[in-house]
A and B are shown apart, each in its own frame.
Chain A
Amino acid sequence: MEKFNNEYNEVYNMYNDDLEVLRKKEKARFILIFVLVLIFFSTLIISNNMYSISVILVIIVLVILNRKIIFSRSMYYILFKEKIIRRIINLVNDKLDYYPEKSITVDLYSRSLFSDNFTDFFSNDLILSKENNIVMSDLVLTRVEGSGKKRRTVTVFEGMFLKLELDFNINSNVRVLLDKCMYDIYIKEKKIDIDSSEFEEKFNIYTNNRMIAMQIFTSDVMAEIIEYMIKNELEFEVSIVNNELFIKYNTGNMFEPNVFKKNLDKELLYFYYVKLEKVLYVSDMIKKIVNNLEG
């Protein structure tokens, strides 16, 4: 906490004033867009042609006059991520490289074989570590359900996704997924029975190699995972595919500023700092467990 506090104070002194100005501009932009949208929808309610035409004309004029505010890339987000989030990430581990606008690809995610059923994929806040061969990013998966009037978008996953390379190849797939019955439909491999009722309550293990799965997930390992998950309130799922380890963490949206709250919200930044620390700790723990197989 002390380390974080020192860093926060430094960052606050350096960037708070500039960020506050940008935050207010961003807030104004939100409100302007919201008002324009409201006015536009009012034309749909009030069935008067003259009114509708006048309103649309006014909207067009307002948009042209405020085009810089509406369509420009928000400097607030850029500065927040480049200056603040980058420092938070380096505070956790100074070997991590952060690219706020870059993302992982759908192909990389598909390699993990997590078998989510999604229609839309959005990723940003890419974090790389050459030393540990880590590729990590913020990820949102959504799915469109229903049709016509009942059509809606459901968030399938929102959190951090991480890929690590193992020191050797297990030549198998092992997936440890949270206990949700919907997975059984999408997964080819059978769910295996395990000898820990506590672990089974939370997770299901799917694999094409039962021996490897049981060697990795011993009683001690399962107990440690459950204990860590409960103590730190961090849900995650694991997929080991040959020599690659993939982990999905249900952290929610990470590294985004809140325009309508106070600038440089300390609680929010501390939340990001702690979550990232825990994410890296769990990744390291699971990597060591799998690497121990080789002896």
Chain B
Amino acid sequence: MNIFLIISILFILIVIYVSIYNNAIYLKNKVEQSISSVDVYLKQRFNLIPNLVECVKSYSNYERDLLENIVKLREDCLNDDKNISKNLNYNNNLNNLIARLESYPEIKASGTYIKLQQSLIKMENQIQAARRILNIDVTKYNTFIKVFPNSILLFGFKEEELFKINDEEEKNNIDIEV
């Protein structure tokens, strides 16, 4: 009878541990999926670069270095591994390049440029939403692995970082007018 009781208790404890472990894996996978989504949306912005080139090429008054920078940026991004902070850096460089186009009124008034701006706004919304989802998933995961008794049972699981803006440069919002 005593052995039966001990086995039953052990069985219940194992079931509880497996359940907690599986939940942790599920939440961790969700976090990784969210990171991937943010990366995908950041990379999508670079598909706009050919449109940027079109904007600039049509006009005779353009800076050669501007066009070269745009093309180099795209190549760098496509060749680089999945890395959110690097993609963010490229993203900010892209914003800076687009902002420089503001100083060319003939480019600013073009239909191509207006469509580009609309695409950019749409993509910014998507990136913001993806970032928020990532932070919600990370918070949920971190809370789960830190509460008692999960913190004892899940000793192999490390906290994930929230999506934060680290660089001073990145914090400066670039005001792009349509």
Report which A residues bind B (CB closer than 8 A): 193-195, 210-211, 214-215, 218, 293-295
Contact = CB atoms under 8 A, between A and B. Distances in A.
B129 interface: yes
Contact of B122 (A194, A211, A295): A295
B43 to A, nearest CB: 16
Interface of B: 37, 118-119, 121-122, 125-126, 128-130, 132-133, 135-136, 140
B135 A195 contact: yes
B140 A195 contact: no
A241 to B, nearest CB: 20
Given A295-B118, A295-B121, A218 B136 contact: no
Contacts of A218: 128-129
Given A214-B129, A215-B126, A195 B121 contact: no
17 contacts: A193-B140, A195-B132, A195-B135, A195-B136, A211-B37, A211-B126, A211-B130, A211-B133, A214-B132, A214-B133, A215-B125, A215-B129, A218-B128, A293-B122, A293-B125, A295-B119, A295-B121
Residues of A contacting B: mostly? helix
Contacts of B125: 215, 293
Contacts, number: 29
Contact of A210 (B121, B133, B140): B133
- The 9 tightest CB contacts between A and B, nearest first, are A214-B129, A215-B129, A295-B118, A295-B122, A193-B136, A215-B125, A214-B132, A295-B121, A195-B136
A194 B121 CA distance: 22
B136 A211 contact: no
Given A295-B118, A295-B122, A194 B136 contact: yes
B135 A211 contact: no
A239 B147 CA distance: 35
A101 to B, nearest CB: 44
A203 to B, nearest CB: 15
A294 B136 CA distance: 25
A210 B37 CA distance: 12
Contacts of B37: 211
A211 B129 contact: yes
Contacts of A215: 125-126, 128-129
Contacts of A211: 37, 126, 129-130, 133
Contacts of A294: 122
